[in-house]
Amino acid sequence: ETGVTQSPTHLIKTRGQQVTLRCSSQSGHNTVSWYQQALGQGPQFIFQYYREEENGRGNFPPRFSGLQFPNYSSELNVNALELDDSALYLCASSLRTGIQETQYFGPGTRLLVL
């Protein structure tokens, strides 16, 4: 098992609400990436945080936002939830070394939007 943890494990929200998901990265890692995995599909890159700043973003609207804290933990915030936001949200931590780094995933938060 990796040292990456996420909370909560499951969450049920209604359309229009807001949600905050949390991720604690593996000890020694300084980069956190967030992915959305819809049922039966591969994970889709949302964004990445390094040194508390977003430094890369996938094809997700601005209502998906995030934060990284000085201890490298991270939050994913989603506003104005839509039914299609129902998915497994995964964070992955890595150590930026200047070359392609390995990403280690947390167990995910399963979000259901009703």
CA distance 76 to 72: 13
- 15 or 112: whose CB is closer to other proteins? 112
Provide the minimum distance between the beta carbon of 102 and other proteins in the complex, in angstroms, as a whole number.
6
Percentages helix, strand, coil for the chain, rounded to the nearest 5?
5, 50, 45
17 vs 102, which CB is nearer to other proteins?
A: 102
Nearer to other proteins, 20 or 37 (CB): 37
Cβ–Cβ under 8 Å, residues 82 and 18? no
Q: Which residues bind other proteins (CB under 8 A)?
A: 2, 4, 31, 33, 35, 40-45, 48, 50, 55-56, 58, 90, 92, 94, 100-108
CB of 46 to other proteins, least distance (A): 9
Residues 58 and 46: beta-carbon distance below 8 Å: yes
Report the nearest approach of other proteins to the CB of residue 70 (Å): 20
- Distance (Å, rounded) from C-alpha 112 to C-alpha 34? 17
Which residue, 5 or 20, is less far from other proteins as judged by CB? 5
Q: Work out how close the CB of 15 gets to other proteins at its nearest, in angstroms, rounded to a whole number.
A: 25
List the structure tokens of 33: 């990436």
Secondary structure (DSSP) of 2-18: -S-EEE-SEEEE-TT--
